[in-house]
């Protein structure tokens, strides 16, 4: 199972706990704030903000929280100034990681990220060392129960998607990054229930890992994900199906 699919499943399970839900809200608020700051507070004219608001609603974030985050981004309310940074690293088994960070203190963030990576058997990489291994794509996940794959495929491709894949109990609709929002909107209008929609860094190739390496890289990704400044973590690990039951 590819790193993206395995990690997406783990994230969905983790987000069911109250503590993880709080972290999810914090990350979404940062994304909404930055989206509003860089593209304005009108979601109709700001695709990034529109996507962030949709993700917040899917996570059941109260509308007042969303509105407050937008106003902090536009300057209508006082707020923290965040900076976006992408760190590159190598994990156990030679796996590659892209770590998307939103922080109000870059020095603190890089020290924390380096500590977490080294503690879990990895090493920080230089800028450009692993980014070339990934492509930015839109990924829309839909629960596969009660969905006809052919109907979904037709609707998705007509809206501009590139492909539809089946992963565990979900269908994943893959889109060009700029088509994420229109494809999501088209599927919703067509009556399809969407579990999540996000811009993802998808590996162009995957690295098979052993069971021990798989446990180590997942521990590393979980530790990074639990850091308040880390928005998303992407990796190119691949877990053979026969090892999945042991994890």
pLDDT score for 229: 94
From 74, 99, 122, the end of a domain falls on 74
Domain of 113, CATH number, reads 3.30.70.980
Residues 152 and 123 in one domain: no
Number of domains in the chain: 3
CATH of the domain at 38: 1.10.10.200
Is the domain of 128 the same as that of 138?
A: no
Asked if 59 and 89 sit in the same domain, the reply is no
Which residues on adjacent β-strands are paired with residue 101?
85, 230
What's the pLDDT at 37?
93
Residues 97 and 146 in one domain: no
- Which of the two residues, 87 and 238, has the higher pLDDT score? 87
Alpha-carbon Rg for the chain, nearest whole angstrom, is: 18
Residue 5 pLDDT exceeds 80: no
Pairing of strands 83-90, 123-124: antiparallel
Q: Is the pLDDT of residue 1 over 50?
A: no
Enumerate the H helices of 80-144 as residue ranges.
106-119
Q: Are residues 58 and 171 in the same domain?
A: no
Q: Report the pLDDT value the prediction gives residue 9, as an integer from 0 to 100.
A: 61
**Residue where a domain stops, chosen among 32, 54, 74:** 74
Report CA-CA distances (Å) from 129 to 57, 64, 86, 172.
Answer: 35, 41, 12, 28
Residue 170 has pLDDT above 90, yes or no: no
b/e for 52-77, b at 16 or more Cβ within 10 A?
A: bbbbbeeeebeeeebebbbbbbeeee
* Per-residue pLDDT at 196: 85
Tokens of 31: 């994304």
**What does the angle CA 70 – CA 21 – CA 96 come to, to the nearest 5 degrees?**
90
Q: Which of 3-12, 73-82, 107-116 has the lowest mean pLDDT?
A: 3-12
pLDDT: is 24 or 21 the higher one? 24
- The first and second tokens of residue 34, run together, are 């930055």
Chain Cα centroid distance, residue 131:
16
Q: Which domain holds residue 181?
A: 134-203
Beta bridge mates, 109: none
Would you state the pLDDT for residue 81? 87
Residue 198 and residue 156 in one domain? yes
Buried b (16+ CB within 10 A) or exposed e, 146-185: eeeeeebeebbeebebeebeebeebbbbbbeeebbbebbe
Same-domain status, 188 and 217:
no
Of 74, 99, 117, the last residue of a domain is 74
Q: Is residue 64 domain-shared with residue 173, that is, in the same domain? A: no
Asked whether residue 113 carries a pLDDT value surpassing 50, the answer given is: yes
CB atoms near residue 145 (< 10 Å): 8
Q: Please state, in angstroms and rounded to a whole number, the distance separating the CA atoms of residues 173 and 192.
A: 12
Share of the chain above pLDDT 70, in %: 88
| Beta bridge partners of residue 173, listed in sequence order | 140, 164
| pLDDT higher at 169 or 206 | 206
Q: What confidence tens digit (pLDDT) does each residue in 27-80 have? A: 999 999 999 999 999 998 898 899 899 889 988 899 999 999 999 999 998 878
pLDDT for res 166: 87
pLDDT average, residue stretch 157-176? 91
Indicate whether 195 and 166 sit together in one domain: yes
Do 196 and 235 belong together in one domain? no
Do 140 and 190 lie in a common domain? Answer: yes
pLDDT for the residue numbered 47: 87
Mean pLDDT, to the nearest integer, of 8-33?
74
Do the Cβ atoms of 171 and 100 come closer than 8 Å? no
Tell whether 113 and 220 lie within a shared domain: yes
Q: What pLDDT score does 192 carry?
A: 92
pLDDT at 15 over 70: no
Least confident span in 8-12, 48-52, 143-147: 8-12
């Amino acid at each position: 199972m590819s790193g993206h699919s395995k990690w997406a499943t783990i994230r969905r399970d983790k987000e069911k706990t109250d503590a993880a839900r709080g972290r999810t809200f914090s990350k979404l608020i940062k994304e909404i704030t930055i989206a509003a700051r860089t593209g304005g507070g009108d979601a109709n004219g700001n695709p990034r903000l529109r996507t962030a608001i949709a993700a917040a609603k899917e996570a059941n974030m109260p509308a007042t929280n969303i509105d407050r985050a937008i106003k902090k981004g536009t300057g209508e309310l006082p707020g923290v100034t965040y900076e976006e940074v992408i760190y590159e690293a190598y994990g156990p088994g030679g796996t590659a990681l892209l770590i998307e960070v939103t922080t109000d203190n870059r020095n603190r963030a890089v020290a924390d990220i380096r500590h977490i990576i080294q503690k879990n058997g990895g090493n920080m990489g230089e800028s450009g060392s692993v980014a070339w291994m990934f492509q930015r794509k839109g990924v829309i996940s839909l629960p596969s129960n009660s969905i006809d794959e052919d109907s979904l495929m037709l609707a998705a491709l007509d809206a501009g998607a590139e492909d539809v894949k089946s992963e565990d109990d979900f269908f994943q609709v893959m889109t060009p990054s700029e088509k994420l929002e229109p494809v999501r909107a088209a599927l919703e209008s067509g009556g399809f229930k969407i579990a999540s929609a996000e811009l993802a860094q998808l590996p162009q190739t995957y690295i098979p890992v052993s069971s021990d390496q798989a446990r180590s890289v997942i521990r590393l990704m979980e530790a990074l994900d639990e850091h308040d400044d880390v928005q998303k973590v992407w990796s190119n690990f691949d877990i053979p199906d026969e090892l999945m039951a042991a994890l």
